[in-house]
Structure 1
Amino acid sequence: MPQIRLHLTGTRPRSTTLFSALETAFEDDGLPLALVEIDEAAGTEEISVYAEEDDADAVEARIRAAAGADGPSLAISREALPDIDWVAKSLEGLKPVRAGGFVVHGAHDREELEPGEIAIEIEAGLAFGTGHHGTTAGCLETLARLVPKKKPANALDLGTGSAVLAIAIARLAPIPVLATDIDPVAVAVAAENVALNGVSAHVTTAAADGFDDPVFSDHGPFALIVANILAGPLIGLAPQMRRHLAPAGALVLSGILERQHDAVVEAYAAEGFRRVDTLRREGWVTIHLE
């Protein structure tokens, strides 16, 4: 579906205050936002929010609502973006990412691998999760420490995206791994990446919208669950995570901003979880709970 860039200009400090309000308003939606300086001397900045074409009107209304009293007078422009696979295009210039002994790379960087590294090749596709985001790298580092120590019998990668984390688990231990996502496009990309990395015998991909899907009871309970999504959904899923985690199992959560850390930990503490460790990277946190 074509994307629309909704953008407006403002002057500091009001523009930065508005951008902070928009980050809060859209943090559970996963919509990309950008703040770009236009004129340093004048303090002029441009704010952009990227949305699907069908959602543009609703997103504009939410921008105005977040601006409060200034909302009705905001001059919000729209730019239709070309229908380009931006993930594929961006991967062309990305360098391999190294985290926890893993190296996540594209086909164009196969020759840059070093001896002893655990290579994960991710094809350019429509799914999120190339390893370049701080949350994915944080999960890789946590899994590299946790899996050899805990030796889980099976695992779940919830919200798998590109399947990079499911592949990482299968590379660390030859155990059954279920990789699910609500987006069928992501699942198709995940399946391709699983095959590309030679772990199809261990990783099962499936489209599943919520824990009510029978695929979870068919493959669970899980000794390890990793979920790199968003703080809001993770908080809401806490009771179901407890039901689907095996006794003495481990939980790895990410997609969480540093300021959201305590709220997530508290939600899981209410379900009987204890925090084992927190890894901080690039303003994001990865939390290990048991």
Structure 2
Amino acid sequence: MSYNPVQIIAHGSRVACEAAAEDIDTDVMLEGATYSILEEDEDRDVWRIDAFPTSEAEADGLVARLALHTGVTVKVETLADADWLAMSLSGLPPVRAGRFFVYGAHDQGRVPPNAVNLKIDAGAAFGTGHHGTTVGCLVAYDELLKRERFEKVLDVGCGTGVLAIAAARTGAALAVGTDIDAPSVRIANENAKLNQAHARFVHASGLNDVKVRAGAPYDLVFANILAPPLVALSQDIKMSLRIGGVAILSGLLRTQERRVSAAYLSRGFRLERRIHRDAWSALVLRRMG
């Protein structure tokens, strides 16, 4: 039986929506669910969650999770048979994050001459540069580049490859990205070629993969994934970094900062910076030992 695509839309206060989003993140049955959370009306404290399930079971699970939260209203809308991801991303404006300018083909004429321009077109992989987590990572990296250089960079959960490509375009001699999703790896390699960046991307299920270990220890590791895997990978990320190396972590809500940072502080990292964008957070941590 074919699945009729739907969009799930939830509204509520910031507290209610962040709690609902965190609930989704901790549900192992919804580990691959795609959703966004943003502020819709600051004056009225109205926040919105948009979810795009890929199966009926995932849709039912998302609705059930959201419905558990008092003050969150949920509605489900049927989508027409179209590539909604590509259609929606094609209309997104370009994004400036420090020295980086991320744009799509429709913004070719708006590229500034004084920026590191990254062309990332719409596709079936996460990381166009518009999401608060990706912007946070780029802003954090831009700030770090003002005082130090990173020869070897690893991007865990690379999606479109924008972060590793950004590293390759700003002097990294080795920029490696990994993802458990094979189509994402293909898209990332295409984007690297499009941007004339020497970043390379491999299909790997963890940091112990031989293709990942070959470049270790890295000077910097990006991990823009979700809070639970960030915690689970804390030791592996530590061991993939040189002493003094930096981890830029995102994919987590502000409410999840303490949980994620605690996992890394307990392993000898020092928290250097937090970057907030909408409900999302990016953490900059340095391995001290």
TM-score, normalised with respect to structure 2: 0.82
TM-align CA RMSD: 3.1
Report the residue type matching 1:167 in the other structure. I
Supply the distance in 2 between the matched residues of 1:62 and 1:146 (Cα, whole angstroms): 38
Range moving further from structure 2, 128-137 or 87-96: 87-96
The answer (yes or no) to whether the contact 2:38–2:278 under 8 Å persists in 1 is no
Measured at CA, do residues 163 and 7 of structure 1 come closer, stay the same or move farther in structure 2, by a change above 3 Å?
closer
Report the residue type matching 1:140 in the other structure. L
The match for 2:224 among 217, 225, 228 is 228
The answer (yes or no) to whether the contact 1:97–1:105 under 8 Å persists in 2 is yes
Supply the distance in 2 between the matched residues of 1:35 and 1:142 (Cα, whole angstroms): 21
The answer (yes or no) to whether the contact 2:6–2:78 under 8 Å persists in 1 is yes
Q: CA deviation at 1:231?
A: 1.4
- Counting matched residue pairs gives 271
Supply the distance in 2 between the matched residues of 1:232 and 1:213 (Cα, whole angstroms): 20
In the alignment, which residue of structure 2 is the partner of 1:185?
183
Report the residue type matching 1:144 in the other structure. D
Supply the distance in 2 between the matched residues of 1:191 and 1:154 (Cα, whole angstroms): 18
In the alignment, which residue of structure 1 is the partner of 2:83?
85
Report the residue type matching 1:152 in the other structure. F
Measured at CA, do residues 6 and 252 of structure 1 come closer, stay the same or move farther in structure 2, by a change above 3 Å?
closer
Report the residue type matching 1:268 in the other structure. Y
Supply the distance in 1 between the matched residues of 2:275 and 2:205 (Cα, whole angstroms): 28
The answer (yes or no) to whether the contact 1:223–1:246 under 8 Å persists in 2 is yes
Supply the distance in 1 between the matched residues of 2:272 and 2:218 (Cα, whole angstroms): 18
Q: CA deviation at 1:183?
A: 0.7
The match for 2:156 among 120, 139, 158 is 158
The alignment partner of 1:225 has SS state of strand
In the alignment, which residue of structure 1 is the partner of 2:43?
none
Report the residue type matching 1:32 in the other structure. Y
Q: CA deviation at 1:57?
A: 4.3
Measured at CA, do residues 105 and 77 of structure 1 come closer, stay the same or move farther in structure 2, by a change above 3 Å?
closer
The match for 2:282 among 272, 280, 286 is 286
Matches within 5 A, 1:242-281: 242-281=238-277
Runs of 5+ unmatched residues, structure 1: 38-44, 69-73
Measured at CA, do residues 22 and 273 of structure 1 come closer, stay the same or move farther in structure 2, by a change above 3 Å?
same
The answer (yes or no) to whether the contact 2:38–2:279 under 8 Å persists in 1 is no
In the alignment, which residue of structure 2 is the partner of 1:71?
none
Q: CA deviation at 1:60?
A: 4.9
The answer (yes or no) to whether the contact 1:36–1:47 under 8 Å persists in 2 is no
The answer (yes or no) to whether the contact 1:4–1:53 under 8 Å persists in 2 is no
In the alignment, which residue of structure 1 is the partner of 2:35?
32
Matches within 5 A, 1:211-222: 211-222=207-218
Report the residue type matching 1:154 in the other structure. K
Cα distance per residue 1:60-95 (max 9 Å; x no partner):
55456x369xxxxx9x98654334332321122211
Runs of 5+ unmatched residues, structure 2: 41-46
The answer (yes or no) to whether the contact 1:277–1:289 under 8 Å persists in 2 is yes
Range moving further from structure 2, 80-89 or 139-148: 80-89
The answer (yes or no) to whether the contact 1:147–1:169 under 8 Å persists in 2 is no
Measured at CA, do residues 168 and 90 of structure 1 come closer, stay the same or move farther in structure 2, by a change above 3 Å?
same
Report the residue type matching 2:130 in the other structure. H
Supply the distance in 2 between the matched residues of 1:277 and 1:17 (Cα, whole angstroms): 23
Cα distance per residue 1:236-278 (max 9 Å; x no partner):
1111111111121111111121121122111100111011111
Report the residue type matching 1:101 in the other structure. R
Supply the distance in 2 between the matched residues of 1:46 and 1:285 (Cα, whole angstroms): 17
Measured at CA, do residues 2 and 273 of structure 1 come closer, stay the same or move farther in structure 2, by a change above 3 Å?
farther
The answer (yes or no) to whether the contact 1:140–1:165 under 8 Å persists in 2 is yes
Q: Does 1:118 align with 2:120?
A: no
TM-score, normalised with respect to structure 1: 0.81
In the alignment, which residue of structure 2 is the partner of 1:53?
55
Measured at CA, do residues 17 and 154 of structure 1 come closer, stay the same or move farther in structure 2, by a change above 3 Å?
closer
In the alignment, which residue of structure 2 is the partner of 1:104?
102
